[in-house]
Structure 1
Amino acid sequence: MTAATVTDRYLLDDDLVADPYPYLAELRAAAPVHWSAVHRAWLVTGYEPAAACYTEPAISADRISPMLAQTPLELLSPEAARAFKIMAGWMVFVDPPEHRRLRAVFRGAFGARQVRRNRPMVQAAVARLATRAGAGSEVVDLLTEFARPLPATVAAAWMGVPVEDTGMFQRWAIQVGDLALGAVQTPEEHERSQRALLDLFDYLRGLVRARRAAPREDLISAALANGLVGESVSEDEFVAMLTHVAFAGGETTSNLIAVGVWNLLRHPDQLALLRAEPDLGPVAVEELLRFDGPSKMSIRHVREDFELGGQRLRAGQRLYVVTAAANRDPARFDRPDELDLRRHPNPHLGFGQGAHFCLGAPLARLVAGSALTDLLAAAPGLALAGGAVRWQPSLLNRSLQALPVRL
């Protein structure tokens, strides 16, 4: 097969949203770095070129500036312009050295040891939500009753959001996630999600000022204790980053849990293995991230001409780093299309690499690992209910619309 024989397909076609892997495998085998006329972007599907994209200086993570270059702020409504400015401050869209300056605010706050201190809170939230998911009904939607609220509940508590505000915080975080990940489908949904981002920013700014006056044992207080907010990082920059933290870990982790449970229930041998050996939880999370992770790709822009995988990429072109394909590259993984919870080593790209390696990876691993093992222990009869599941039509996310299960 050659690049010329590969059909250039729209990645949001229904069959590719449901199961992108066979087509991505064809594309990767023919052209690991492929120009897609349909998407007007390079699709990077091979493991080695995809990994290189995270450290290549000629590639930029800034998705906001190119959009603003096409739509100047003065042509937007005041609300839209303010939302764009907030998103432009998210670390995921900022290149070094600015990225290092911003990330330094959270130095130590997301460390594995600090995250492990939250394990009792995670276990309590898992137990509470597992009980609620099974209350009064044999069939429940595990996504809305468990996988989605759990990470949001943990994130809210960790950030220091008062219990009485948790529901409101969760709604904002979910709507902001829909905006950032391209899940909004109508102008009304876009406006609602944009409003949620502004409301979340204003709320978190008030919380930051409250924690500055009276610190507590939470993420915001720990970050403020570094002394960088107000010095090398402005308060508005800090609050903008917190709006990203509020949704990013929750959305990614909820999809990891939901899709992970779906895959385990479709692979009864691996499900039985995890039930028998719950200590495999951390290794299982890594394999679920590799096999069918919550992020299908990340978007980059070419800052200056360079070569990648034998192709000449030009400044200004768009780049899709398709981690869903790279994580199944047979040149890097043995039996890549098999789910193997004992897989080791497992150098997947589910959390990225380099400067943009996911800041919240330790917390996502903790929450997902606890959710999977504790849920399986609490629900020995867990099984899929109904027919084929429905998927969200998203280029970036691998996310279910619902996950009906029997408990």
Structure 2
Amino acid sequence: MTTATPTSTATVPATTFTECYLLSPDMIADPYGHLDALRAHAPVHWSPMHHAWLVTGYDQVMRCLRDPGVTADRVRPLMDAVPQGAREDAERAFGILSRWMVFNDPPQHRRLRQVFQEAFAARAVARYRTFTEKATRAVLARKAVPGRTGDLMADVAKPLPALVFARWLGIPRTDAAAFWYWNARVADLVLGTAQEESEYRASLQALVSLEDYLAGLVARRRAEPADDLISQVLKEGRVGESVTEEEFVGMLTQMAFAGGETTSNLIANTVLALHTRPGQLAAVRENPELAQGAVEEALRLDGPSKMSIRAAVSDLELDGHTLRAGDRIFLVTAAANRDPARFPDPGRFDVRRTGATHLGFGFGAHFCIGAALARLVAVAAVRTLVSDHPG
């Protein structure tokens, strides 16, 4: 813990605030009390501990998400975190990351995103509804072993998104184990879990292996189209015109990384929220259509994504503070989604909540392109779990 002190770029309020490191185990386990206090203290706060601005107010986060003077390009900070001994393995891996939509700003981001726009539209994703519902029942049937205690994450929340996303991407079952191993290691790199040099090496190599695998899969789908995302995008003809094949494959590594883990956590968080609130659980059981509202409330109240890191590309004024060019900015959406200025009684989980839009999937240019598919999978899982398997 440390107490924030003035810096040359910060105008610090008269009152002080004792802050905690946001990625500490205690904060990861339960960040919300601290984030509520931080937002009440100052919705825009300079943190010497994080060497960054912590933005926790809803309106202030939205301002940053809209501002072209705030960049999403954070490949360089990720590269800088790699231990010196692993740098020789990093060049190709970070070249792959530089092609991820999430690390690009408009107009480059727009050019990359439009390649997937049709494939990710809600109407296109809806055709996977039947497969998702069947997969949900199949996964639940496998866990229903008499005398066995169930494990929500291991039995349902992890395998269900893996099944759906593998089907959607066209990953053969024989390749699934390696595919998801690579994704887990890539997550270690991108989410900052990797700490030791050996962990960085494993993550960097996994990203390269994932790209090699997907490049091979793209080549096979050119020769033998199938009913999957890669074939659909290739058929539309933008690869080779709007984007290069290298860019397309790089973006596929982002799709692979983003799909499974976040949806698994969304399912688990929604079910946990319902089972710790009997009244809300009863409402969803009585009206399964409220499963959609339950998923949205989980995204708001305890979503898988807690913050997004940005940087200022030029000086900007925010809530009476001057953010200097080059300053890091932590957009703490987990705090913004509980801002009482936007959400009445923000700590209450309400499957019928209406009003302000939560930021669980981001906003604007970087709104999660896979949101429709993630919602489809999560709602199917929650509806079936609470209706057909009340335990």
TM-score, with normalisation over the residues of structure 1?
0.89
The answer to whether the Cα contact below 8 Å between 2:89 and 2:201 also exists between their aligned partners in 1 is no
- Report the secondary structure of 1:118's partner residue: helix
Taking the aligned partners of 2:277 and 2:13, their CA distance within structure 1 comes to 34
Taking the aligned partners of 2:92 and 2:209, their CA distance within structure 1 comes to 11
> What is the match of residue 179 of structure 1?
189
1:304 pairs with 297, 310, 314, which one? 314
- How many Å apart are 1:315 and its aligned residue? 0.5
1:169 pairs with 179, 186, 201, which one? 179
> What is the match of residue 367 of structure 2?
357
> What is the match of residue 384 of structure 2?
374
- How many Å apart are 1:104 and its aligned residue? 1.3
Taking the aligned partners of 1:57 and 1:112, their CA distance within structure 2 comes to 27
Between 1:290-299 and 1:22-31, the stretch displaced more is: 22-31
Q: What number of residue pairs does the alignment pair up? A: 380
Taking the aligned partners of 1:187 and 1:134, their CA distance within structure 2 comes to 41
Matched, 1:189 2:199: yes
> Aligned pair in 2 of structure 1 residues 367, 174: CA closer, same or farther (>3 Å)?
same
The answer to whether the Cα contact below 8 Å between 1:3 and 1:34 also exists between their aligned partners in 2 is no
Question: What are the residue-to-residue correspondences of 1:274-353 with 2, within 5 Å?
Answer: 274-353=284-363
- Report the secondary structure of 1:108's partner residue: helix
Taking the aligned partners of 2:148 and 2:81, their CA distance within structure 1 comes to 50
> What is the match of residue 251 of structure 2?
241
- Report the secondary structure of 1:273's partner residue: helix
- How many Å apart are 1:188 and its aligned residue? 3.0
> Aligned pair in 2 of structure 1 residues 72, 162: CA closer, same or farther (>3 Å)?
closer
2:262 pairs with 252, 276, 280, which one? 252
- Unpaired stretches in structure 2, ≥5 consecutive residues: 1-11
Taking the aligned partners of 2:82 and 2:139, their CA distance within structure 1 comes to 45
Computed over aligned residues only, the root mean square deviation of the Cα atoms, in angstroms, reads 2.0
> Aligned pair in 2 of structure 1 residues 357, 72: CA closer, same or farther (>3 Å)?
same
> What is the match of residue 7 of structure 1?
18
- How many Å apart are 1:144 and its aligned residue? 2.1
The answer to whether the Cα contact below 8 Å between 1:249 and 1:364 also exists between their aligned partners in 2 is yes
Taking the aligned partners of 2:207 and 2:340, their CA distance within structure 1 comes to 41
Deviations 1:121-171 (A, max 9, x none): 111111111122233553232212221121121111001112322232222
Taking the aligned partners of 1:227 and 1:157, their CA distance within structure 2 comes to 22
- How many Å apart are 1:224 and its aligned residue? 1.2
Deviations 1:263-316 (A, max 9, x none): 222112111211111111212211110011111100001110001111100011
- How many Å apart are 1:253 and its aligned residue? 0.6
Taking the aligned partners of 1:179 and 1:167, their CA distance within structure 2 comes to 19
> Aligned pair in 2 of structure 1 residues 3, 190: CA closer, same or farther (>3 Å)?
farther
Matched, 1:206 2:233: no
> What is the match of residue 3 of structure 2?
none
- Report the secondary structure of 2:150's partner residue: strand
> Aligned pair in 2 of structure 1 residues 371, 3: CA closer, same or farther (>3 Å)?
farther
> Aligned pair in 2 of structure 1 residues 3, 237: CA closer, same or farther (>3 Å)?
farther
Matched, 1:91 2:101: yes
> What is the match of residue 275 of structure 2?
265
The answer to whether the Cα contact below 8 Å between 2:83 and 2:197 also exists between their aligned partners in 1 is no
Taking the aligned partners of 2:177 and 2:91, their CA distance within structure 1 comes to 27
Matched, 1:32 2:43: yes
Between 1:9-18 and 1:119-128, the stretch displaced more is: 9-18
- Unpaired stretches in structure 1, ≥5 consecutive residues: 382-407
Taking the aligned partners of 1:74 and 1:42, their CA distance within structure 2 comes to 27
Structure 1 runs of 4+ aligned residues shifted over 4 Å read 70-78
2:167 pairs with 137, 152, 157, which one? 157
The answer to whether the Cα contact below 8 Å between 1:79 and 1:195 also exists between their aligned partners in 2 is yes
Taking the aligned partners of 2:57 and 2:317, their CA distance within structure 1 comes to 15
- How many Å apart are 1:109 and its aligned residue? 0.3
> What is the match of residue 130 of structure 1?
140
- Report the secondary structure of 2:54's partner residue: strand
> Aligned pair in 2 of structure 1 residues 18, 369: CA closer, same or farther (>3 Å)?
same
The answer to whether the Cα contact below 8 Å between 2:214 and 2:249 also exists between their aligned partners in 1 is yes
Amino acid at match of 1:8: E
- How many Å apart are 1:217 and its aligned residue? 1.6
The answer to whether the Cα contact below 8 Å between 1:153 and 1:170 also exists between their aligned partners in 2 is no
- How many Å apart are 1:77 and its aligned residue? 4.4
Q: Percent identity?
A: 53
Taking the aligned partners of 1:197 and 1:221, their CA distance within structure 2 comes to 22
1:46 pairs with 28, 32, 57, which one? 57
